[in-house]
Amino acid sequence: MNYASILPAQITALRATGLVIAVLMITFAVVRRREMRNADVLLLLAAGIGLFIVSGTEVTDRLLSALSFERGNGGRILGLAVFAIIILFLISLRALAVGARNMRQISAVLEGIASEQFRTDGHRNLFRNQIAVVIPAYNEADNIGYVLDQIPPEVCGLPTATLVVDDGSRDGTEEVAAAHGAVVARHVVNRGGGAALRTGYRLMVDAEAAIVVTLDADGQHLPSEMPDLVQPVLDGEVDVAHGSRVLGHAEENHFARELGIVFFNRMVSLMTRTKVSDCSNGYRAVRTSVLPQLVLKQEQFHTSEFMIEAIKRGVPAKEVPVTVEQRLHGHSKKPAVLRYGIGFANAIMRTWLR
């Protein structure tokens, strides 16, 4: 092989700069290899070697010529731009994968800490064979006390026990919930209602509760309607009873949100071939033995995920009329209408496709 044929005719200032940067990247990867992940070291080495080849040889020119990116009229620059975009796309995919993995690890750690504390405090026996009421809460100190006081001590002949999953609150929600008689599991950082519910479900499966009822901490759901959800599950008619404001009653909401509810209900109904009247309602009762079957990953837009998962797994379910009122105090934690709609649609599609 004539190595001279692949060497550049002259080393320009731009090529020299590229060579220097390439050497620095390779040197950094080698020197700091023990402090970096193997994949990151390999990626940095590959980038450095690639830059060295581009800057110090004519290989790139030959490749660009083979792909019809000829010299003149910006052809070579366009070719390099195409390659750069491809490389950046691959790096972005890796960054997204790493970010998703880190998020899963953080969620697993938070759930593990809450689970260990729950066991250490000896709360498991409080929920065994009971109606477990699980309430995710984030900065709801002004509302949670009132909601807890409305929880009936007995539903359909079975005693209730309440778990509040404090999702990183900073306003004293944990203290208020404990003062009103609830067992509290806590996330040290805010992860979202879906993450809080996953922790609650995990604890209730571990505690062998009979039925898990979930409702909001802001007072929108009426604890007095709990028997309507529990009875069909207790009777063995279904394994999940979803609350539906459409079948029941709801206070007037923002027009865009009302329109979104209608749209997403039809979207979920079409995708699952199941009539769904309210896919965004978190008031539900579920037989605890069903929970391990469901794959729940959403941190925030979790209501539709649960419903779609139950349908996909063939879990017997029905919708029950319930009332949804205005929150007692404060402002909704939901994002703005457009962002909420995009996030909700994303959750539906990802749950349906997996």
Instruction: Cite the DSSP H helix spans in 208-336.
Output: 226-234, 255-272, 303-312
116 and 55, same structural domain?
Answer: no
Cα 306–312–313 angle (5° rounding)?
90
Contacts of 205 (CB under 8 A, 6+ apart): 288, 291, 292
**Structural domain that includes position 41:** 3-101
pLDDT given at position 6: 55
Of 47, 81, 101, at which residue does a domain stop? 101
153 and 67, same structural domain?
Answer: no
pLDDT given at position 234: 94
66 and 119, same structural domain?
Answer: no
310 and 223, same structural domain?
Answer: yes
107 and 63, same structural domain?
Answer: no
**Distance of CA 341 to CAs 197, 254, 277, 288, Å?**
21, 13, 17, 30
Q: Average the pLDDT over 218-233 and give the result.
A: 95
Band of the pLDDT at 95, cuts 50, 70, 90? confident
Q: Average the pLDDT over 294-312 and give the result.
A: 90
Question: Among 73-77, 117-121, 257-261, 322-326, which range has the highest average pLDDT?
Answer: 322-326
pLDDT given at position 350: 85
Q: How many domains does the chain have?
A: 2
Q: What DSSP state is assigned to residue 279?
A: T
7 and 50, same structural domain?
Answer: yes
* CATH number (domain holding residue 176): 3.90.550.10
142 and 207, same structural domain?
Answer: yes
Burial 79-117 (b: 16+ CB within 10 A, else e): beeebeeeeeeeeeeeeeeeeeeeeeeebeebbeebeee
pTM of the model: 0.75
229 and 115, same structural domain?
Answer: yes
Q: Average the pLDDT over 279-290 and give the result.
A: 94
Distance CA 330, CA 38 (A): 48
Of 101, 122, 137, at which residue does a domain stop? 101
Whether residue 5 is predicted with pLDDT greater than 60 in this model: the reply is: no
Of 72, 101, 130, at which residue does a domain stop? 101
Distance CA 269, CA 291 (A): 22
113 and 128, same structural domain?
Answer: yes
Q: Which of 332, 335, 337 is nearest to 217 (CA)?
A: 332
108 and 209, same structural domain?
Answer: yes
Band of the pLDDT at 283, cuts 50, 70, 90? very high
Four-residue CA torsion sign, 333, 334, 337, 338: positive
167 and 304, same structural domain?
Answer: yes
Distance CA 197, CA 303 (A): 10
182 and 326, same structural domain?
Answer: yes
State pLDDT tens for residues 130-181.
999 999 999 999 999 999 999 999 999 999 999 999 998 998 999 999 999 9
Distance CA 234, CA 250 (A): 26
- Identify the bridge partners of residue 186 per DSSP, sorted by sequence position: 166
pLDDT given at position 74: 62
- Identify the bridge partners of residue 164 per DSSP, sorted by sequence position: 135, 184
Whether residue 7 is predicted with pLDDT greater than 60 in this model: the reply is: no
Both tokens of residue 128? 């065994």
Distance CA 142, CA 220 (A): 13
Q: What DSSP state is assigned to residue 221?
A: B
